[in-house]
Structure 1
Amino acid sequence: MKLEDNKKVAGEDDNGRAVEEMKEDSSGGSVCRLVVGSLSNIVACATIDEVRVPEGHEKTMHGVSLGKKNARVSITKVIQGDAKIPFPIGDEILTVQEAMGTFIAWPRNMITVGTIAKTKKAHAKKMKKTYKLIEDVEPELVLQIGLNYPFAMKRLWTWAKEALSGGRTISFELSKEAFSFTKKQIMFLSDIHAVCSGGEMAGSVICLFIQSIRWFVDPGTIGAIGCGSAVQRSRELCTRFKDSRKGQHFLLSYNDVNHLTLTVVNPYADVVYYMDPLKRRIANGEWVDVVDNAIKMYKEDLKKVPKKKVLWENMARVPVQTGNKDCGLFLMRYMMEIIHDKELEFANKWLRRSNLVYTEDDINEIRVEFAKYFMKHCAS
């Protein structure tokens, strides 16, 4: 569903109630409310920038594609200043309060527009607010739990339904050992639902799962949206590579707007391994430039001459995802196999063999491991 022009300012419904539609602001943007977790959890009021771009061009945000599922918004009123924004801008703009005065990206299924309806007799004394999404949302968070559904996941979902209902969240700190810094992450009921149902995975879920890995890069600093320009993201990676040693590999979960891929980088050897759960070829685009430039910066800091060209290996034989939204679970399975591979033979295995598949039990192993870790370290 697209945003309407909202040209109608006042009218009357079938019950004789005066209805005021939301107006456009003075700049031509549509007034809206930004929500997190649920429709009732409103964190800010904002305007949506609906400026059109020439045909054949994409709307961008901070130098990267905005994507069809996101809108460019400007916060006009802060309701929950400490609420985290969906796409942080570096380390400078992380919360609603910090986002005041600038344009940010916001998922369209987390934006509401509404009407205020009031009876003629009661006027402003009795008002009823109604909200609708500017885009269709997923059905209510429910799970089909059969007899063979793992107990650990049943326990996790039972806890989450009660503890995270009504837009409530739970936070955790990233491990300094794994990420080289500490940073608070927030998880919603929808995130737990994604784990339990095999849905679209958020970066916070992958971060929590991977806490035991020592050389991991926070996906919230290198993603396609809300992470700064390509140069900024290269510098972020270069900083992460500084502590590496010969033979050290870094695991990069990359979100290309609405799909997750895994990139494993050996910066010392100028070698990159690329794994896409959809088995697509390596795209010679911005992500390749980001990684290549990060390796170049890293080598310059070491006063070593980088190779003329970074070697990208496409792991085209990785097990392919079976659903439309389970790329995150497959990525987590790839990661687990890599960190348990002491000889680092994953490249030989996934570069050549073509009959590798993940069974339901293989994927459930990942979900159960996440559920057990979450209940032990995060649930209260």
Structure 2
Amino acid sequence: MSVDKIKTEKSVPNYETLIDDGMKVLSKDEYLQGKPVALTLVSKTNVVAYGTIVDVNGAGKLLHGVPLPMNCMRVSVDEAVEKSALLPFPIPNECDTVGDAIGTHVSCPAHLVVMKDEKPQRKKIVEKKSNPVLPSNVPRSLHILYCYDKRGLKIPGKHISMFLDHDLFDDEYELLVDLEDITPFYLLEPISANCIVVYMWILFKKMKKDNKVKKFRFMNPHTISVMPYVSKLDENEKIEHLNSWASVLVDRLSGAARNQLVLVPYNVGCHWILTVIDPYVEVVYLLDSLSHRNRYEDWKYGPRQPDAKQCGYYLMRFMKEIVEENAASDKDSLSSIFMKTVYSNEEIDEVRSEWAECVCKTLCFVLFLTPISVVPLVALVVFGLYELGFPKVTRE
């Protein structure tokens, strides 16, 4: 056997891994989910894209409404090396090439999925990145919050406690925001349901100020979104969970007033979408930043995200424009709002800045409990002085 053949023979490893917590055995599926991989065609030396494993064993599961083929993995396409390369399993009338599939999920034969640390060496143009760890163009208030995150929340168990208005979800609600929420938000990585809830609170306070509370109603994403453990339940347990989620959603819809839209953020598993419902006229709209996944034209609304990471930020922007533009339930109203094909960096940074300022204002109530070096910076953000350029803080 030649040396080259030995180097390229390995693909996805077939083993179990032990962890210290009670010597729990992780199956291959659990170990590989979320791992970065290289996608190849024909042979393992022909890398056409890079992505992330979403589901190792896709047998019997649906992807874009079609059952996954046998011995295939569900993989998100994050970066294309050869955009014109044909997909092994094209998505009818939507995606035929690797370039079309950026930001969505595809089926890929398991033997052509190569772990990134085992991928074959191939020549590739290396783009220079000025600051690969901390971006230099983040909103100022978000940078301050990130600095606080590193100093004040690095100890396990530390968090920012936010008590939300009772009327937001018709319930007393305390939200705990920690470094696992703030750090991805700063780095423009996929965000948690906590981040979505914070922005819903921001919009709700604007609605109260503008007398729009009777126009819109929010659904708590924590109560209905897909949780990682659900896929491991048996069929009866899954049905029980689905019935529970349906009951919660029905209760929320039944409390809506006439001509009031219900905004329902939902995580379908590694992807955020926004459903807009008018329960009185039985109208439902789906705003999906990966809109090419939908087969029906009537369900295609909203700009499309440029990568596989920004769905949460696009969802927040969707809600912002619906509330601020005073959208109605008719199709023409939503169509007139979402005319763009993509949001600019400035439009995404606007919602990120609003989010950071809200969390910073919450911190003003606990300034004396924060590290002393962070207190003045948080206070400046709270009172709006930092946005005016005072003081000048060097980014780390």
What TM-score range do you get, normalising by the shorter chain? Answer: 0.5 to 0.7
Alpha carbons 2:328, 2:334 under 8 Å: kept: no
Partner of 2:226: 224
Matches within 5 A, 1:1-380: 4-5=15-16, 32-33=20-21, 45=22, 47-48=24-25, 50=27, 56-57=59-60, 143-146=133-136, 148-170=137-159, 171-211=161-201, 212-213=203-204, 215-225=217-227, 229-282=241-294, 313-314=298-299, 316-344=300-328, 347-348=331-332, 350-351=334-335, 355-378=340-363, 380=366
**Which AA in structure 2 matches 1:190?**
E
**Which AA in structure 1 matches 2:358?**
Y
**Which AA in structure 2 matches 1:224?**
V
The CA distance in 2 between the partners of 1:280 and 1:269, in whole Å, is 27
User: CA 1:5–1:336 in 2, change beyond 3 Å: closer, same or farther?
Assistant: closer
Deviation, structure 1 residue 185: 2.9
Alpha carbons 1:169, 1:187 under 8 Å: kept: no
Higher share in helix = 2
Instruction: Tell me the alpha carbon deviations over residues 38-73 of structure 1, each in whole angstroms, 9 at most, x when there is no partner.
Output: xxxxxxx57357499998246xxxxxxxx989xxxx
**Which AA in structure 2 matches 1:150?**
P
**Which AA in structure 2 matches 1:322?**
P
Alpha carbons 1:277, 1:330 under 8 Å: kept: yes
Instruction: Tell me the alpha carbon deviations over residues 282-332 of structure 1, each in whole angstroms, 9 at most, x when there is no partner.
Output: 489xxxxxxxxxxxxxxxxxxxxxxxxxxx951x24111122211100100
The CA distance in 2 between the partners of 1:267 and 1:238, in whole Å, is 10
Q: Number of paired residues?
A: 241
Deviation, structure 1 residue 180: 1.1
Alpha carbons 2:146, 2:183 under 8 Å: kept: yes
Deviation, structure 1 residue 183: 3.0
The CA distance in 2 between the partners of 1:230 and 1:205, in whole Å, is 24
The CA distance in 1 between the partners of 2:57 and 2:350, in whole Å, is 47
DSSP-derived class of the 2:24 partner: strand
Instruction: Tell me the alpha carbon deviations over residues 184-224 of structure 1, each in whole angstroms, 9 at most, x when there is no partner.
Output: 33323131122222110100111011114252111111112
Deviation, structure 1 residue 347: 4.3
User: CA 1:365–1:51 in 2, change beyond 3 Å: closer, same or farther?
Assistant: closer
Identity between Structure 1 and Structure 2 (%): 23
The CA distance in 1 between the partners of 2:58 and 2:350, in whole Å, is 46
User: CA 1:156–1:5 in 2, change beyond 3 Å: closer, same or farther?
Assistant: closer
User: CA 1:274–1:209 in 2, change beyond 3 Å: closer, same or farther?
Assistant: same
**Which AA in structure 2 matches 1:237?**
L
DSSP-derived class of the 1:198 partner: coil
The CA distance in 1 between the partners of 2:356 and 2:333, in whole Å, is 28
For the aligned residues, what is the CA RMSD?
A: 3.6
User: CA 1:233–1:282 in 2, change beyond 3 Å: closer, same or farther?
Assistant: farther
**Which AA in structure 2 matches 1:56?**
A
Instruction: Tell me the alpha carbon deviations over residues 321-348 of structure 1, each in whole angstroms, 9 at most, x when there is no partner.
Output: 1222111001000001111122537842
TM value normalised by structure 1 = 0.55
Instruction: Tell me the alpha carbon deviations over residues 82-125 of structure 1, each in whole angstroms, 9 at most, x when there is no partner.
Output: xxxxxxxxxxxxxxxxxxxxxxxxxxxxxxxxxxxxxxxxxxxx
User: CA 1:51–1:328 in 2, change beyond 3 Å: closer, same or farther?
Assistant: closer
Partner of 1:14: none
The CA distance in 2 between the partners of 1:54 and 1:323, in whole Å, is 24
User: CA 1:232–1:162 in 2, change beyond 3 Å: closer, same or farther?
Assistant: same
Deviation, structure 1 residue 264: 0.8
**Which AA in structure 2 matches 1:166?**
I
Alpha carbons 2:317, 2:348 under 8 Å: kept: yes
User: CA 1:346–1:374 in 2, change beyond 3 Å: closer, same or farther?
Assistant: farther
The CA distance in 1 between the partners of 2:360 and 2:266, in whole Å, is 26
Alpha carbons 2:181, 2:195 under 8 Å: kept: yes
Alpha carbons 1:180, 1:240 under 8 Å: kept: no
User: CA 1:5–1:175 in 2, change beyond 3 Å: closer, same or farther?
Assistant: same
Alpha carbons 1:321, 1:330 under 8 Å: kept: yes
Instruction: Tell me the alpha carbon deviations over residues 120-163 of structure 1, each in whole angstroms, 9 at most, x when there is no partner.
Output: xxxxxxxxxxxxxxx99xxxxx84242x4321112111111111
